[in-house]
Amino acid sequence: MSIESEIEIILSSDYQYEQLVAEIYIAGKYVALLNQDAGSDRLRIEFANPKLDRNHVVNSVSLDLFMVAVERAKVRLFEDK
């Protein structure tokens, strides 16, 4: 099983945001959140507080894997539009 298969994207409607957000997880650990409140052409990525429990959050990941995960999150956010 490739490490890319461990990427999980969860769409959610968080009360802090006006639009859907995409949460990015790798190997079951939270990596970042993609936020589209500024518009579909001005996505923002938000990272977890590095002080959070490392059992639940990733603070370091390969750039290639991260880029694949972000692209998947973008696709998921806009696949129904």
Please say if the pLDDT value at position 81 is more than 70. no
> What length does the chain have?
81
- The percentage of residues in the chain with a pLDDT greater than 70, rounded to a whole number, is 95
Question: Considering its fold, how many domains does the chain have in total?
Answer: 1
Whole-structure pTM value: 0.88
> In the structure encoding, which two tokens stand for residue 81, read together?
């539009």
Residue 64 phi/psi, 5-degree rounding, is -60, -45
User: Average pLDDT in the 62-73 region?
Assistant: 95
